[in-house]
Structure 1
């Protein structure tokens, strides 16, 4: 019933993703002692032999563990119930409360996409709020291709966030150029001769109001 969830035991909270199951079984033996990536290099021939024999060896290793009654397992306690995780969650909740108290209400009535940290309003190109719909559309197209080699992805189908558009500007007829705020501030600090030089030239040459 868990779709991609795999349970290898009857313990509570033991359900994991299918790719995690592969990592805990196949890749575990690959990276442990006796594997192909532990302490030595390997050729294509060694890799092929190891891969073909892994299917049988994995079953043999499981049966040996069952016969010897030796297993690598964890306790019944969930990892989120440990004291270290509880302390970290408490500190994270305090940081979140402090952040929310220092910024405008994130759930204000508005019809536009707004960045929570800076308050910048996204333009018509921002479509990150439609990510679920875009994802389903892309998955439908992937299924319709029928073959992996025929799949093509275009930039116009990409989800656009406010962070990817707020650092752009257009100066007259010049093309849009990306701005790195950190690089801009660093160059400004290196070129200034006094504290007044940090703001005066920008205010004179820029049509935008600073302050």
Structure 2
């Protein structure tokens, strides 16, 4: 691991070139080890769910990279990889729109070869500067530039009206306004521009905040690891396990089946059934109201001890009592087990009371 750390530091400092890192045998070995570990952990539902989440984040990062750098082919690939998750999550409008867009782009080299060539040259995004990481999606630019100028002083929404002739006049005057703005900057010998090195993502404050957030997340996962070899899908925060019909950890397989069923059909004419989407842990609990919800006792008391440590160094003061769980919905603190012998408890709960001896547990 120290060798990999040194390799990374040399890459960041410029002492190593990217191709030197890619050709490193140790990096390739580490990558194969990571793939092997993922394949072994995916047989456990909770671990598979978290690995799937990491894969979704990778797709999102890939899409942002494609948009920022103007890589059209990578953008299409990212959207294609998003399709199964849109389908599994029930985001039908996103699914239909992206599916139709991808089908249209497949025909673009034949229907509009000049447009296709322009997109391949990076012109499918809008750039407001010449920096490498400056590509913006057209809808984002329309919202942040065109719509903002329409709603500010002098815009259409500020007293000029919204008729067809007024909108046309306003839009056609925009290029002239830009030329006038440039002329004024040239006359005043002033120019509005940002430094190519300026990026708030690299600032000291942002780095400190990112480091703090990362440490908070890591400490959370150290206490509640999702990569246990557990055959059940469970909530790492509460310890509540799911029923058998929860399949959110197989969202990609569920989504692939839905996307396959769309082949050869008009995307906007297809209807989707609710019972075909992935079932989350929460949805499975709502659907299975007659089943007893199972709670992992080890996880439960780990949560209790962790919460107690936030308020006192000696956590035994919080565990000198006993408590009763009735159908896992009612948590009642008692001063002693003698309280259970009262006629009230015997009449109300009878033999359904489960006593948990917190005092005798090893935390």
Q: TM-score range by the shorter chain?
A: 0.5 to 0.7
Give, in whole Å, the separation in 2 of the partners of 1:133 and 1:155. 16
Q: Is the aligned partner of 1:33 residue 2:33?
A: no
Question: What is the match of residue 199 of structure 2?
Answer: 78
Are 1:158 and 2:264 counterparts? no
The Cα of 1:50 is off from its aligned counterpart by 5.1
Choose 1 or 2 for highest CA Rg: 2
Cα deviation, 1:27-86, whole Å, max 9, x if unaligned, reads 222232223445x696xxx25445545542443344334444487654432221123322
More moved, 91-100 vs 111-120: 111-120
Could you list the runs of 5+ residues in structure 1 that have no partner in the other structure?
173-187
1:60 aligns with 2:205: no
Offset at 1:14? 0.9
> Which piece of structure 1 moves more, 24-33 or 55-64?
55-64
TM-score calculated relative to the size of structure 1: 0.61
Which range is displaced more, 88-97 or 59-68?
Answer: 59-68
Alpha-carbon distance in 2 for matches of 1:205, 1:53: 82
Aligned partner (choices 115, 119, 128) of residue 235 of structure 2:
115
**In the alignment, which residue of structure 1 is the partner of 2:349?**
204
1:92 positional shift? 0.7
Aligned residues: 184
Which structure is higher in RCO with an 8 Å CA cutoff and minimum separation 6? 2
Instruction: Return the offset for 1:113.
Output: 3.3
Q: Structure 2: where are the runs of 5+ without partners?
A: 1-69, 76-123, 292-329, 340-344, 357-363
Q: Please give the per-residue CA displacement for 1:132-171, whole angstroms capped at 9, x wherever unaligned.
A: 44445555666754363x3423212333221322355534
SS at match of 1:34: coil
SS at match of 1:163: helix
Query: Does the residue aligned with 1:160 lie in a helix, a strand or coil?
Result: coil
Compare 3-12 and 50-59 and name the one that shifted more.
50-59
1:95 is displaced (CA, Å) by 1.2
Match of 1:89 in 2: 210
Distance 1:2 1:164 in 2: 38
Instruction: Please give the residue correspondences for 1:9-20 in structure 2 after superposition, counting only pairs within 5 Å.
Output: 9-20=129-140
1:2 paired to 2:121: no
Cα 1:7–1:118 change in 2 (3 A) is same
Q: How does 1:139-154 map to 2 (within 5 A)?
A: 144-146=264-266, 148=268, 150-154=269-273
CA-CA distance at 1:89 after TM superposition: 0.9
Tell whether the 8 Å contact from 2:126 to 2:138 is kept in structure 1 after alignment. no
CA RMSD of aligned residues (A): 4.3
Deviation at 1:206, TM superposition (A): 10
SS at match of 1:166: helix
